Structure 1
Amino acid sequence: MPQITVETSPALDHVDWSAFALALHPVVVEIAAARLEACKLRTLRTEYEVVGDVAATGTGGPAIVHVGIALLAGRSDETKAKLTEATLELLRKHIEPTDGVTLHVSVEVRDLDPSYRKFEA
């Protein structure tokens, strides 16, 4: 915990997602009272995007980024909203605009299911 997943379009392969993770983790610690060593981020590159009636073409069209942050239960809605806004601001700083690409960015902060368990080896 926290489990952070970034789903990203191929049109955003130029983004330094490691730098984004290293910037985001301290923000999660500050806002959500998490431990830095517990923050885990992984990126998942999507293969194909369509927004409305427009498909991505490789050189243009839509590009989608969705960040999901899952936390152990107990954070207030206000804390989650603050973390969502801070994450959106970091994304604005880390994603350079690309000609011909329309960017669609979203963030969701949610509670992990009570069944969540982990181990470290």
Structure 2
Amino acid sequence: MPQITVEYSAELADDFDRPAFARALHEAVVEIAAARPPACKTQFRRSEDTVVGPDTEGHAVVHVTLGLLAGRTEETKARLTEAVLELLRQYAKPGDDLALHASAEVRDLDPSYRKFESE
């Protein structure tokens, strides 16, 4: 915990500093949501096809989902969501020919959530 998934359009591959974004996001999650640094895990999923409205060209999408153990206030979740969007402004810089559609959500992990770590 937290489980972070970043889905992004392939058109952003060269214009999205994913490692720097993940490091900065982990720092924000620790500061805002009191997560432990070694517990922060981010997976990036590249999407080859993006369609926005009727257009298949000229758009890129980034959506970040953060799954946290239950117990954070709605205010904490909102602060974290705003921090994610600000970090996307810093680390996802598409060219002038691309409109960026960025979004984020923070959700509670289901009570059935379990994990293990191998050594």
TM range (shorter): over 0.9
Structure 1 residue 4 and structure 2 residue 4: aligned? yes
Q: CA contact under 8 A between 2:12 and 2:94: conserved in structure 1? A: no
Measure the CA separation in 1 of the matches of 2:53 and 2:92: 22
Identity within the alignment, %:
62
Deviations 1:11-64 (A, max 9, x none): 1101110110011101100100100000000100001011110013xxxx1100
* Code of the aligned partner of 2:27: P
How far 1:96 sits from its partner (Å)? Answer: 1.4
Structure 1, unpaired ranges of 5+: none
Q: Aligned residues, how many?
A: 117
Q: Describe the SS at the equivalent of 1:50.
A: coil
Give runs of ≥4 in structure 1 deviating > 6 Å: none
* TM-score, structure 2 as length reference: 0.96
Scaled by the length of structure 1, the TM-score of the pair is 0.94
Indicate the SS of the match to 1:115.
coil
Q: Distance in 1 between matches of 2:22 and 2:92?
A: 13
Partner Cα separation in structure 1 for residue 25 and residue 103 of structure 2: 15
The 1-side partners of 2:26 and 2:42 are apart by 8
Match of 1:7, as an amino acid?
E
**RMSD of aligned Cα (Å):** 0.7
Structure 2 gap ranges (5+): none
